[in-house]
Amino acid sequence: MNAFKKTPFVLAASLAGALSLSSAHAAEVEVLHWWTSGGEARAANVLKELMEAEGYGWQDFAVAGGGGETAMTVLKSRAMSGNPPSAAQIKGPEIQEWGELGLLGELDGVAEAEGWDTLLPPTVADIMRHDGQYVAVPVNVHRVNWLWANPEVLEAAGVAMPTTLDELFAAGEAIREAGYVPLAHGGQAWQDATVFETVLLATAGTDFYRQALVELDPEALGSATMIEALETFKRLRTLMDDDMPGRDWNIATSMVINGDAAMQLMGDWAKGEFTAAGLTAGVDYLCAAAPGTQDAFTFNIDSLAMFRVEGEEREAQQALARLVLEPTFQEAFNKAKGSIPARPDLDMSEFDTCAQRSQEAFRQTAEQGGLVPSMAHGMAVRADVQGALFDVVTNYFNSPDLEAEEAARRMVNAAQAVL
């Protein structure tokens, strides 16, 4: 049958379909993000549902790839073709880079109406503004320096949760002897960098971390302390398994969930996977500050930056920004995502014990000076510097013959080349 020859009923039905489609599409947002693992997708869905409940359409622009490198490449090509999405998961100093290109739209109306200036801690609010105007909204605060563990595997190996790097290596040996992978890891540049920055923090403390990975001080980058941290970092390979190259972070988490591996050093998006698997914090899985980093909190704040859009799309975009900081979203999203709310005024009693500890650690370290931005997660330096550091870290970690001294030298060069 000719596809165009439709009965009046079919025609009317498809017309109605087209009409309702076009009205649903009239005010909609397209949102780019990389929340594609089990826990992340559950979290992202909260925002989609809240937007739809207010009558707005949601165009999901999910680009898989932990750490968001692929998502950022796709975003750049969309923006270059003059067709950016309404909002995108852009974080830290990179928000300034997009702002400087003149591509971001402001949210000052929503921010004022909702009192963002009083709701948000200054550390968080500052990141969201470009040229004094809000151009992004924070969805959460992730802590990066966590250790996750399967208590049954620890017990089978007769070890407790390690609190220092020495204890981690000792426990690792016992776990290996008991027949398990001590440390689940995925060999991808951003995961290598995540573990590296945590080891650096444990080895050298927060002041040194800042000098090296935030201020890019060549003396710190090339120092004996850096060389020691690099060596310890590489030694962690002895706790990992041979199948790690290319493995996604959530697959590494599932090794801990399934009891194939004992532990994982990863930010608390890993908790989203434990939660999605129906597990209970403190019972079915354990969380602790990464060994040697008890007094520090490496923060990674996810945010949605808003592109300059007009008309109904802008209306929908402003609604999105408003919803993101409302308690309903902050609570539901962060419970699924593993993070804590971006606004500190919410009741945390319904959150799991790891989230409660994270919030307490955030408050304490903010007071005592232990709060540091994550280099691996785009909070410390601009994207070009981050990329150059990733290259050094991952090449060093994956090249048996590359010495720590040489890697430290390359780090100095990498930071200088892009300054």
Contacting residues toward ligand GAL, per CB under 6 A: 34-35, 40, 66-68, 142, 249, 269, 300, 302, 377
Question: In this complex, which beta carbon is closest to ligand GAL, that of residue 180 or of residue 249?
Answer: 249
Question: In this complex, which beta carbon is closest to ligand GAL, that of residue 141 or of residue 161?
Answer: 141
**CB-count exposure of residue 303 (10 Å: 0-12, 13-18, 19+):** buried
Residue 159's SS3 state is: coil
Helices (H), 64-188: 69-80, 94-100, 108-114, 116-119, 122-128, 151-157, 165-177
Q: Which residue lies nearest ligand GAL, judged by its C-beta?
A: 66
CB of 34 to ligand GAL, least distance (A): 5
Residue 174's SS3 state is: helix
Question: In this complex, which beta carbon is closest to ligand GAL, that of residue 171 or of residue 200?
Answer: 200
Task: Name the token pair of 368.
Answer: 């005592």
289 with 317: CB under 8 angstroms? no
Nearest of 196, 241, 253, 182 to residue 397 by alpha carbon: 196
Dihedral sign of CA atoms 396, 401, 402, 404 in order: positive
Task: Name the token pair of 401.
Answer: 């013959």
CB of 195 to ligand GAL, least distance (A): 14
CB of 404 to ligand GAL, least distance (A): 26
Residue 407's SS3 state is: helix
Question: In this complex, which beta carbon is closest to ligand GAL, that of residue 40 or of residue 313?
Answer: 40
Where in 174-253 does DSSP place strands (E)?
Answer: 181-183
Nearest of 15, 72, 24, 80 to residue 48 by alpha carbon: 24
CB of 121 to ligand GAL, least distance (A): 18
Question: In this complex, which beta carbon is closest to ligand GAL, that of residue 56 or of residue 269?
Answer: 269
CB of 40 to ligand GAL, least distance (A): 5
Angle between helix 269-276 and 38-53 (nearest 10): 90
Question: In this complex, which beta carbon is closest to ligand GAL, that of residue 6 or of residue 48?
Answer: 48
CB atoms within 10 A of CB 179: 10
| Terminal CA-CA length for the chain | 66
CB of 269 to ligand GAL, least distance (A): 4
CB of 342 to ligand GAL, least distance (A): 12
Question: In this complex, which beta carbon is closest to ligand GAL, that of residue 232 or of residue 250?
Answer: 250
213 with 375: CB under 8 angstroms? yes
Question: In this complex, which beta carbon is closest to ligand GAL, that of residue 180 or of residue 297?
Answer: 297
Give one word for 82, left, alpha or beta, with left for phi > 0 and alpha for psi -120 to 50.
left
CB of 336 to ligand GAL, least distance (A): 11
Question: In this complex, which beta carbon is closest to ligand GAL, that of residue 30 or of residue 40?
Answer: 40
CA–CA distances in Å: residue 325 to residues 50, 188, 248, 316, 387: 12, 32, 30, 15, 31
Question: In this complex, which beta carbon is closest to ligand GAL, that of residue 233 or of residue 269?
Answer: 269
CB of 334 to ligand GAL, least distance (A): 11
Where in 131-226 does DSSP place strands (E)?
Answer: 133-134, 136-138, 142-143, 146-149, 181-183
CB of 41 to ligand GAL, least distance (A): 11
Question: In this complex, which beta carbon is closest to ligand GAL, that of residue 140 or of residue 293?
Answer: 140
Nearest of 106, 101, 94, 113 to residue 137 by alpha carbon: 106
CB of 381 to ligand GAL, least distance (A): 14
CA–CA distances in Å: residue 234 to residues 240, 262, 328, 336: 11, 19, 43, 33
